[in-house]
Amino acid sequence: MASMEAAEEGGGEGYFASVSDMMVGILFIFLLLLTVFALNFREAEHEQKVKYAEYLEAQKRAKAAEELAREAELKARHEAAIADARKIENDRFRTLLLDAVAQLEKDLKDRETTRSQLLVSLQNSLSTRGVTVSIDPESGILRLPEDLLFKTGDATIRPENLPRVQTLAEVLADILPCYVEGGDSSKCGGGAAPILETVLVEGHTDRQAFRSPVVVPPPVINAPPTRPSIFSSATAPPPMPALPQAKLVVTNDSELRNDRLSTERALNVFKELRRVRPSLDSLRNAEQQSLLGFSGYGPRRPLLDALGSTQADYQKNRRIDLRFVLSARTSDELARLREQIRQALGNGQ
């Protein structure tokens, strides 16, 4: 019985030893797992910190990008506002320019129309009084055939043609005041306006040259001395007959003489107009300068339909022109538009 108890005691110790060993193993495994868990936790914590730092950096970059985007958006809005303002200003400026061009064209057309009306009125008034003239509305010219007023090469108005010039003076004195500044407009019809800068009496000649005869003495011929002949007496030979003097026709200062002739003819018509109707001398343009003037062009301004060398072409180019020059002054509306354009240009600088 004692031996049985001893055996039971020995078996209990072995059992407890096995349990103790198992507990040690389990504890070892637990510690090992705990160590592994701690290591993994540290690595996970490090990774989490890295990712958090990356997240903060990404958030920082996103915030910076957002700020940049916001600044870019504000800048774009500002530039768009500036562009819109410039477009509005450019559109306004373009409108002003178009209005100015349209007004300028209207002014020019109105003045040219008024000048054409003036020329037609002069032509009709002269025609009813027996004086025939031609007009060129586009150039603003009333044309008098010069060969009806002067003899060839002469600047004095023919006495039989003085009444024509006098009639021209009367018609001009009646009509021109309607087309100058400060003129008497009581007799003017509709459409009259102060449009004239000057009225020039222009003289023109053809391009034929003046020719002057120049007397050329005959050549001197010296006869050789004669010698006495054994067959005749030593008498002097009979005198040689005198040669006739030759006449040579040459051009002599032709252009200068044509210039002088055209100017003198224009001057004589100009003087006659003022003599017949002194009131023409008192007409003034917008700058209060004398309206009437004169000039001579010689053969330098031939008519386009008379550039040939026929007598008909020469006759057309021998003429007196009255050139009606339009004033360069603009209307009040165009002056207002011009001032607005200057202000717009000033604001844009």
Give the integer Cα–Cα distance in Å for 121 and 114.
Answer: 10
Q: What letter represents residue 96's amino acid?
A: L
Quote the distance between the C-alpha of residue 324 and its chain's center. 23
**89-100 pLDDT tens trace:** 888 878 888 888
| Residue count of the chain | 349
Task: Give the span between the Cα atoms of 282 and 185, in whole angstroms.
Answer: 15
Residue written as token pair 């030979």: 237
Specify the pLDDT at position 269: 95
Q: Which letter, b or e, does each residue of 250-271 get, where b requires 16 or more Cβ atoms within 10 Å of its Cβ?
A: eeeebeebbbbbbbbbbbbbbe
- 156 in Cβ contact with 268 (< 8 Å): yes
Q: Split the chain (349 residues) into runs of 10 and give each run's mean pLDDT.
A: 56 66 82 83 83 86 89 91 89 83 83 92 94 92 80 88 93 93 75 89 88 51 49 48 47 79 95 95 90 94 89 89 87 72 66
Give me the pLDDT at residue 36, please.
Answer: 83
Q: Which residues contact 294 (CB under 8 A, 6 or more apart)?
A: 200, 201, 202, 203, 263, 266, 267, 269, 270
Give the pLDDT of residue 177.
Answer: 93
Looking at the domain covering 112-218+244-329, what would its CATH class be? Answer: alpha beta
Q: What is the pLDDT of residue 216?
A: 45
State the pairing for strand pair 141-145/319-326. Answer: antiparallel
**Full-model pTM:** 0.64
Phi, psi at 115, each rounded to 5°: -65, -40
pLDDT given for residue 12 in this prediction:
59
d(CA 307, CA 138): 20
How far is the CA of 319 from the CAs of 117, 150, 195, 334, in angstroms? 23, 10, 25, 38
Sign of the C-alpha dihedral, residues 194, 196, 201, 205?
Answer: negative
- Residue 42: how many other CB atoms lie within 10 Å: 10
